[in-house]
Structure 1
Amino acid sequence: MSNQELVHAYRHLLRWSLRAVQFSKPARFVVRDTLRAAFRDKNGTFEPSRVKSTLWFLESAATYVGVEHKIIKNLVHVRYIQNKSTGPWRIRAQTLSKSQQRALKDPVYEKEYEHFDKTIAMLNDTMNLCLR
């Protein structure tokens, strides 16, 4: 795994992800931030076969409005809501009411995305993808 392979994989994934979300304004920032976090992860592994199949999946999502596009759309929407509730404190203070801020400290809300993350992990395993 060379540095050049990582850069090419990042650029290709970013390009096809942006095409899959059709460059829409909140979605492109979610895609960018998620991809950055994935490539900056110290425990992450680089598997070219998974990157290649993910690129095919994203290309299909960008080309046709089918199941792949709906999966990407829902994935980005959930990550947007998740990041909105755990974003910087200034943004949280401006967008969430006090009752919503108190509710975020509840232990139930700490595990609300656990089932979704497991579903994405199973999708990644069955289709040999690397979606986050």
Structure 2
Amino acid sequence: MPKTCILTEEAPTPIGPYSQAVIAGNTLYLSGQIALDPVTGELVNDNITEETHAVMKNLEAVLRHAGYSFQDVVKCSIFIRNMDEFTTINDAYGMYFKSNPPARETVEVSRLPKNVNVEISCIAVKS
């Protein structure tokens, strides 16, 4: 099955040898996004709520560029540095999934790229 690599300037440029997302068939696999401002390249991390919204906006930009939306997301993986921030992250994340939220796991990790507090990846499927 052929794959199509997705790259948009509306989301941060990858900081390694990976694509922002890959389409295979009707499935879009989005790489983990962190709270990098796509224009300035600076981290958006004054607080965990702002940081989570920045991550979600980056995911949204990649989804939109590929012709998908949050309604197409079937699975998310959330990596956080401090499980004590779970509720705050969950509240911000939940604003993007008003109904029929995707499957998900949330995992506390010791370190993330650029020492951010949250990274989220997802999988979306078109019918």
Bin for the TM-score computed over the shorter chain: under 0.3
TM-score, normalised via structure 1 length = 0.24
Greater fraction of residues in strand: 2
Greater fraction of residues in helix: 1
